[in-house]
């Protein structure tokens, strides 16, 4: 049995994704039903004209992007739905999250483009964003099986393919869309089927700040693999393989100083690292537990970070102090109470001004919006219902501007 297969078997034994209990909701919300989606409303309100939240439906018979206008108060108004020209996907034995990844839908502020994976058809879609409209659709091959995550740095985009041996494939972001970067494809040496087992697929691909390295988390191998990136945008031939400090590394985020934070699903911990120029990692803070179940997603909002715990449908808040050490914003590990409409927390998105957080709830097929307070507190300001809930597949991927 290979190293990856042994670790995968161990992972499946120890990683149990529990169903969530329903707690009472404490905040008043604005509810929008997706069935009312149509043309953008409030055309005269220029203060929020360019503010939007994008949600990837990941439908198996035709992937779509659900677009919402974001008001100045964080409330959401349905503004249309756009076909990506590809199909969504569903990993084998996925418990709540069909793609089992972070970064499957990415907005690139530099180019004004929205990038989406089509896991079921092995393609990536690029749209040009015009307010709440998506135009100039382009669909390209992802360069592998089951694309699940995208990373952007400058004019570079790299797509993580989770199926088969796993790979990363580079693209240039041009005015016409994505152009494959010759000689950029790198294998991860995994042992997955074309549609991977959720616990055996890599969790995310991310660039370090400045784009000097490409990082991939591999859940079953329990490693964090770093490809130093050359000046021409191409990664080193092979990754530097680092053992993860915590079990089942999943999502990646970076603080203001460039330290890397990795969410670990096994015990719902976050570890902090320095990424060295040679691709090795130095752990600078031991895994910090949040007391919740199955932390997978992690997003930064200024000096705060928010993690999605799919096992019990909660969101955890973190803060960094002046020395860069991470701590919980609330000792309980719960930044906001879940509700009956907030089940199966998965992916997260933060607005560019770090004022609002949006959370996908896969089981209930909803999006929650929160205003971020000065101390990192969360106040619910919106709930969107009627999105594709997890069954044969479900929505995954969210971006906010």
DSSP symbols for 29-58: --EEEGGG--S---TT-GGGTT-EEEEE--
- pLDDT over threshold 50, residue 399: yes
pLDDT at 31: 52
Which tens digits make up the pLDDT trace of 154-184? 999 999 999 999 999 999 999 999 999 999 9
Report whether 126 contacts 172 (CB < 8 A).
Answer: no
Is 224 part of any domain?
no
Query: Which CATH number do you get for residue 297?
Result: 2.120.10.30
What is the residue-averaged pLDDT of the chain?
90
pLDDT bracket for residue 322 (50, 70, 90): confident
Identify the residue with better confidence: 32 or 190: 190
More confident residue, 44 or 332: 332
pLDDT surpasses 70 at 30: no
210 within domain boundaries:
no
Q: Picking from 73-87, 171-185, 237-251, 326-340, which range would have the lowest pLDDT averaged per residue?
A: 326-340
Which helix (H) or strand (E) segment holds residue 244: the answer is none
For the beta carbon of residue 398, count every other beta carbon within 10 angstroms: 23
pLDDT band at 11 (very low <50, low <70, confident <90, very high): low
Within 10 angstroms of residue 212's Cβ, the number of other Cβ atoms is: 17
Question: How many domains does the chain divide into?
Answer: 1
Token readout for 217 is 């988390």
**95 inside domain:** no
Q: Does residue 9 register a pLDDT over 60?
A: no
DSSP of 355-375 = -EEEEEETTTTEEEEEEEPTT
- Is residue 300, in this structure, part of any structural domain at all? yes
Q: Give me 98's structure tokens.
A: 């069909």
Q: What is d(CA 360, CA 363) in angstroms, rounded to the nearest whole number?
A: 9
Task: Find the mean pLDDT for residues 319-324.
Answer: 85
299 located within any domain: yes
Band (pLDDT 50/70/90 cuts) for residue 26 is very low
What pLDDT does residue 2 have? 46
**How far is Cα 318 from Cα 248, in angstroms, rounded to an integer?**
20
Dist. CA 284–CA 341, nearest whole Å: 38
Rounded CA separation 167/192 (Å): 11
In a domain, 368, yes or no: yes
- pLDDT of the residue at 316: 98
Per-residue pLDDT tens digits for 220-229: 899 999 999 9
The pLDDT confidence band at residue 32, using thresholds 50, 70 and 90, is low
- Percent of all residues in the chain with a pLDDT value above 70, rounded to a whole number: 88
Q: Is the pLDDT of residue 43 over 60?
A: no
pLDDT at 22: 28
> Residue 49: pLDDT band by 50, 70, 90 thresholds?
low
Q: Say if strands 31-33 and 378-385 run parallel, antiparallel, or are unpaired.
A: parallel
CA 78/CA 36 separation, integer angstroms:
7
Whether residue 39 is predicted with pLDDT greater than 50 in this model: the reply is no
Q: Is the pLDDT confidence value at 34 over 90?
A: no
Residues in the chain: 401
What pLDDT is attached to residue 321?
Answer: 83
More confident residue, 372 or 7: 372
321 occurs within a structural domain: yes
Cβ partners under 8 Å of residue 307, min gap 6: 251, 263, 268, 270, 290, 295, 297, 298, 315, 316, 318, 348
Residues 6+ apart with CB under 8 A from 321: 327
Q: Is the pLDDT of residue 376 over 70?
A: yes
Q: pLDDT at position 392, please?
A: 77
pLDDT tens digits, one per residue of 74-95:
999 999 999 999 999 999 999 8
Inside any domain, residue 359? yes
Cβ within 8 Å of residue 89, ≥6 positions away: 58, 60, 98, 99, 118, 119, 120, 146, 148, 195, 393
Domain extent at residue 339: 290-384
CB 251 within 8 A of CB 263: yes
5-19, 39-53, 66-80 — most confident range: 66-80
């Amino acid at each position: 049995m290979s190293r990856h297969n042994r670790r995968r078997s161990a992972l499946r034994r120890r990683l149990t994704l529990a169903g969530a209990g329903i707690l009472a909701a404490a905040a008043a919300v604005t509810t929008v039903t997706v069935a009312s989606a149509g043309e953008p409303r409030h055309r005269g309100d220029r203060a929020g004209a360019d503010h939007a939240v994008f949600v990837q439906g990941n439908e198996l018979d035709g992937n779509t992007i659900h677009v919402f206008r974001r008001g100045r108060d964080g409330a959401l108004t349905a503004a249309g739905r756009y076909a990506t020209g590809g199909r969504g996907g569903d990993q084998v034995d996925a418990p709540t999250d069909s793609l089992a990844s972070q970064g499957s839908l990415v907005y690139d502020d530099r180019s004004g483009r929205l990038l989406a994976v089509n896991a079921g058809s092995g393609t990536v879609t690029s749209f040009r964003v015009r307010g709440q409209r998506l135009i100039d659709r382009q669909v390209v091959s992802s360069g592998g099986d089951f694309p699940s995550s995208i990373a952007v740095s400058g004019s570079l985009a790299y797509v993580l393919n989770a199926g088969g041996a796993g790979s990363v494939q580079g693209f240039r972001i041009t005015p016409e869309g994505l152009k494959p970067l010759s000689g950029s494809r790198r294998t991860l040496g995994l042992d997955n089927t074309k549609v991977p087992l959720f616990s055996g697929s890599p969790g995310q691909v991310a660039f370090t700040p400045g784009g000097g390295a490409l990082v991939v988390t591999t859940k079953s191998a329990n490693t964090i693999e770093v490809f130093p990136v050359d000046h021409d945008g191409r990664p080193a031939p092979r990754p530097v393989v680092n053992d993860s400090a915590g079990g089942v590394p999943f999502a990646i985020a970076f603080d203001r100083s460039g330290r890397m934070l990795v969410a670990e699903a096994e015990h719902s911990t976050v570890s902090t690292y320095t990424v060295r120029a040679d691709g090795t990692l130095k752990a600078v803070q031991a895994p910090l537990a949040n007391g919740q179940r199955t932390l997978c997603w992690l997003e930064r909002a200024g000096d705060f970070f928010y993690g999605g715990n799919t096992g019990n449908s909660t969101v955890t808040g973190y803060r960094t102090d002046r020395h860069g050490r991470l701590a919980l914003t609330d000792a309980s590990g719960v930044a906001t109470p879940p509700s009956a409409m907030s089940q199966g927390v998965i992916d997260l998105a933060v607005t560019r001004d770090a004022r609002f957080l949006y959370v996908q709830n896969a089981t209930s097929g909803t999006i929650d919006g929160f205003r971020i307070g000065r101390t990192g507190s969360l106040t619910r300001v919106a709930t969107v219902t009627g999105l594709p809930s997890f069954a044969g597949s479900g929505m995954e991927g969210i971006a906010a501007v």
